[in-house]
């Protein structure tokens, strides 16, 4: 399925949009899939836990509170996400291992990169509604991301499947 978020946004005014304030770190700039959500603060143990469950073409949206002090995803977790079938990961926070991330063939978006690793205490909430500065992200939404931004819909556009 060939698509563009700008065109789909015109066709689906009910959709939520997020501006492309995120930087693309992965090998795929365009990706789409059903949303899983995670809310954490400078702790990525739950990120690993969720990615290990298997993605089946889903997109993990991680609300790290916008913190740029520690990375919530790096090369090891990005490879895990790809191996477990995730279409992409969107981090409202920071990542690290930028050179490694470029080689992983999934969508990886984050606000910035930082070299500092996060805590591993296991704090965080899985599959909860997220309130990002530009949109509310709900578990089960369908997310489409490309160079124009991110589009959140209640389901796949026109009944289509994930792609990108």
- Please enumerate, by residue number, every residue annotated as part of a binding site: 74-77, 96-97
Task: Pick out the residues of the known binding site for Mg(2+).
Answer: 97
Helix, strand, coil shares of the chain, percent, nearest 5, are 20, 35, 45
Say if residues 86 and 58 touch (Cβ distance below 8 Å).
Answer: yes
Say if residues 36 and 61 touch (Cβ distance below 8 Å).
Answer: yes
Q: How many other CB atoms sit within 10 Å of the CB of residue 23?
A: 13
Task: Pick out the residues of the known binding site for substrate.
Answer: 74-77, 96
Q: What angle do CA 129, 20, 100 make, to 5 degrees?
A: 90
Say if residues 69 and 95 touch (Cβ distance below 8 Å).
Answer: no
**110-145 burial: b if 16+ Cβ within 10 Å, else e:** bbebbeeebeeeeebebeeebebeebebbbebbbbb
């Amino acid at each position: 399925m060939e698509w563009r978020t700008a065109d789909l946004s015109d066709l689906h005014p009910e959709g939520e949009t997020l501006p492309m304030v995120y930087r693309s770190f992965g090998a795929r700039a365009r990706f789409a899939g059903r949303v899983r959500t995670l809310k954490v603060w400078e702790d990525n143990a739950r990120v690993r836990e969720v990615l290990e469950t298997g993605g089946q073409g889903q997109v993990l949206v991680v609300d790290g509170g916008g913190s740029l002090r520690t990375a919530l995803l790096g090369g090891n977790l990005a490879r895990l996400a790809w191996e477990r079938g995730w279409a992409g990961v969107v981090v409202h926070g920071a990542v690290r291992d930028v050179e490694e991330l470029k080689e992983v063939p999934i969508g990886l978006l984050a606000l910035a990169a930082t070299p500092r690793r996060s805590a591993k205490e296991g704090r965080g909430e899985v599959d909860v509604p997220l309130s990002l500065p530009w949109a509310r992200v709900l578990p089960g939404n369908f997310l489409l991301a490309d160079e124009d931004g991110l589009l959140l819909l209640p389901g796949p556009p026109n009944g289509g499947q994930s792609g990108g």
